[in-house]
Chain A
Amino acid sequence: MKIIVCLKQVPNTTEIKIDPVTNTLKRDGVASIINPDDKTGLEVALQLKDKFGAHVTVISMGPKQAEKALGEALAMGADRAILLTDRAFAGADTLATSKTIAAAINTLEYDLIIAGRQAIDGDTAQVGPEIAEHLGLPQITYVNNVEYSAEENTFTVQRQFEDGYQLLQVQTPCLFTLLATAEKPRYMRVKGLVDLDKKEVEILTRADIVIEDAVLGLKGSPTKVKQSFNKQYNSNKQKFVLDPAEAAKLIATTLKEKHLI
């Protein structure tokens, strides 16, 4: 089985804080990580490799420094890593990104494509389904569990909803997007780290994929950012320093005044 895992390097947004004085994002020193849902997707691929034997290729689109995330994926056990990087790809929205990645995947062989449900920086959850559409593949998103029957070459997956789940069956080729809760990703292996010298992240540029210029990057993106802004919070609100009994009284009185009790 040949598996392609799409992953994205993201800033660890849980570490981002707002500077209380300037009211802007403090992004300095915030670590870059493999997006959590994607890392779980890689773990699922590696488990399929452990159980059934598979060749796992990780692919990412981003700046040159995204090589680091792909290196980590190799050290976890991926067999091949590809970084799509070119100034022509910059500024792409989800549609342009998905077309670019789909064009790169078109140069590869695969049975299964796995992506994370969404990235923690953009939170859109759109690139996975859009890749599936460009490649004409059936998609299953919000996947919480993956079972595979080698005899029937069939995947049975649990598709999560807010109020329940579906068990769905599909044959390859297909695309899943994984929830971070599905599996706990393994650590990088010592052997994997040692072998890193031998495995290199392959770089694909504009010239390596077959796609029209008109659909790439910023100019190939139907959506444009008109403006971006930080949330303004009022950090000068009144606070009461109270002992627990006083605190309880104040809350009870407030609720009563508002006719909530």
Chain B
Amino acid sequence: MSKNILIIAEQRNSQVQNVTFELIGISRELAKANDAKVEVLLLGHNVGDQVANIVGYGADSVFVVDDPALESYMTEPYTQAVTQVIREKEPNVVLVGASSIGRDLAPRVAARLNTGLTADCTKLEMQPDGSLEMTRPAFGGNLFATIVCPDTRPQMSTVRPGVMKRCEFDATRTAQVENIKVEFAPSRIKLVKEVKQTCSVDSIEDAKILVACGRGIGKEEHIQRAKDLAYTLGGTYCSSRALVDAGLVESCRQVGQTGKTVRPEAYLAFGISGAVQHLAGMEDSELIIAVNKDETASIFNVADVGIVSDATRVLPLLKEEIEKIIKA
């Protein structure tokens, strides 16, 4: 067995996703504890041009399985390729993004390798002896548990996108690149078609400023005002689960345990009570401003600026104030 950390890169439409660079970032930190190497496994078809990005963000070596069977994400061929590479390279740790792809792939691989898997980790720490401490939320973020996997290897973990920080990109970095061949078994599942549903042009994970809508402003007219405010600020809008369930906001804008994790420079929460599930997705924002009528709302426990006021009435007035400042 090696000391190394193997990251399963996530690519969609042959583009490596941010979570992969975040996993490389945390792995560089973890690798210091026991002098390990950071390896990345890239799976796909015609994905060779993605290697440079993976190297630039900090991989020591990159393994590539490039095959038509891996063009679209499918459980069986991906599991087969990942399992083969893990058996060959014997990493100490395997990290996978906790996306709808990683959360399908990782348990299948872990069961095949008969090893432990810890889901949706938000914190990872490496001990000098190479044992990994994996901290994850449970009970909707009400409780946290630190999990270890003492006796089986590799130690496997999925990590939520948006939680870990990537390293600075360095185009001068070099790494060993190795192509690996896999003989794929015929797939028992047939891909009929693939449909892309792009949320909107703006992604809530990339926004500098987020205006967040909660149940307290749960009417279309108020949400429209929140959108107007968000765009005036050069940011975008997001919401708690309640408004997504009510069909008022698209699900790709949901922040929280079952939605996305965000850490914008400013998070402006309007009418959000702050269920722990929601807080889990936004509490690392740099500046949190919360407006809620209910002074006992939990959102105030994480807010840097907590304002007890009627959010529906603050929204239009705030937009005017912002416009004044921008014009001045």
- Report which A residues bind B (CB closer than 8 A): 11, 13-14, 16, 18, 25, 93-95, 98, 120-130, 132-134, 138-142, 156, 160-171, 174, 221-231, 233-235, 237-252, 254-256, 258, 260-261
Known: A165-B197, A261-B322. A240 touches B303 (CB 8 A): no
- A251/B265 in contact, CB under 8 A: no
- A121/B118 in contact, CB under 8 A: no
Q: What's the nearest-Cβ distance from chain B to residue A251, in Å? A: 5
- B193/A167 in contact, CB under 8 A: yes
- B12/A163 in contact, CB under 8 A: yes
Closest B residue to A26 using CB positions: B142
Closest B residue to A246 using CB positions: B309
List A contacts of B103 (CB < 8 A).
125-126, 141
Binary contact readout B143-187 vs A (1 if CB under 8 angstroms, 0 otherwise) = 111111111100000000000000000000000000000000000
Known: A228-B143, A228-B145, A229-B144. A261 touches B108 (CB 8 A): no
Q: Which of A125, A162, A256 contacts B107 (CB 8 A)?
A: A125
Q: What's the nearest-Cβ distance from chain B to residue A139, in Å? A: 6
- A139/B108 in contact, CB under 8 A: yes
Complex formed: what's the CA distance from A95 to B209 in Å? 41
Binary contact readout B126-147 vs A (1 if CB under 8 angstroms, 0 otherwise) = 0000000100011111111111
List A contacts of B116 (CB < 8 A).
93, 95, 221-223
Q: Which of B108, B118, B317 contacts A129 (CB 8 A)?
A: B108
Q: Which of B26-34, B44-52, B294-302 contacts A (4 or more CB under 8 A)?
A: B294-302
List A contacts of B141 (CB < 8 A).
231
List A contacts of B190 (CB < 8 A).
168-170
- B147/A224 in contact, CB under 8 A: yes
- B148/A224 in contact, CB under 8 A: yes
Interface pairs (11), CB distance under 8 Å? A11-B139, A123-B119, A129-B111, A164-B194, A229-B143, A229-B144, A230-B142, A237-B301, A251-B314, A254-B305, A258-B265
Q: Which of B72, B295, B298 contacts A239 (CB 8 A)?
A: B295
Q: Which of A161, A169, A227 contacts B146 (CB 8 A)?
A: A227
Where chain B touches its partner, the secondary structure class is mixed
Chain B residues within 8 Å of chain A by Cβ, number: 91
Complex formed: what's the CA distance from A212 to B188 in Å? 30
Q: What's the nearest-Cβ distance from chain A to residue B109, in Å? A: 9
- A123/B191 in contact, CB under 8 A: no
Q: Which of B73, B119, B325 contacts A256 (CB 8 A)?
A: B325
Q: Which of A16, A161, A246, A255 contacts B322 (CB 8 A)?
A: A255
State which residues 295-324 of B face A: CB under 8 Å: 295, 298, 300-310, 313-314, 317-318, 320-322, 324
List A contacts of B279 (CB < 8 A).
231, 233
- B145/A244 in contact, CB under 8 A: no
List B contacts of A233 (CB < 8 A).
279, 298, 301-302
Binary contact readout B75-107 vs A (1 if CB under 8 angstroms, 0 otherwise) = 110000000000000000000000111011011
List B contacts of A237 (CB < 8 A).
300-301, 303-304, 306
Binary contact readout B275-308 vs A (1 if CB under 8 angstroms, 0 otherwise) = 1110100000001010100010010111111111
Additional A-B contacts beyond A164-B195, A255-B322 (12; CB < 8 A)? A25-B139, A121-B138, A156-B192, A167-B195, A168-B191, A225-B145, A226-B146, A227-B146, A242-B307, A245-B317, A248-B314, A248-B317
- A260/B208 in contact, CB under 8 A: yes
Q: Which of A95, A167, A224, A254 contacts B192 (CB 8 A)?
A: A167
- B117/A94 in contact, CB under 8 A: yes
List A contacts of B326 (CB < 8 A).
261
List A contacts of B61 (CB < 8 A).
none
Q: What's the nearest-Cβ distance from chain A to residue B148, in Å? A: 5
- B309/A241 in contact, CB under 8 A: yes
Closest A residue to B232 using CB positions: A261
Complex formed: what's the CA distance from A195 to B117 in Å? 41
- A98/B318 in contact, CB under 8 A: no
Known: A132-B108, A252-B318. A13 touches B139 (CB 8 A): yes
Complex formed: what's the CA distance from A58 to B289 in Å? 47
Task: Check: B110 CB closer than 8 A to any chain A CB.
Answer: yes
Task: Check: B189 CB closer than 8 A to any chain A CB.
Answer: yes
Q: Which of B111, B305, B310 contacts A98 (CB 8 A)?
A: B111
Q: Which of B143, B147, B191, B198 contacts A226 (CB 8 A)?
A: B147
List B contacts of A249 (CB < 8 A).
321
List B contacts of A226 (CB < 8 A).
133, 145-148
List A contacts of B305 (CB < 8 A).
240, 250-251, 254
Complex formed: what's the CA distance from A133 to B103 in Å? 14
- A133/B233 in contact, CB under 8 A: no
Closest B residue to A244 using CB positions: B313
- A231/B144 in contact, CB under 8 A: yes
Q: Which of A18, A161, A165 contacts B276 (CB 8 A)?
A: A18
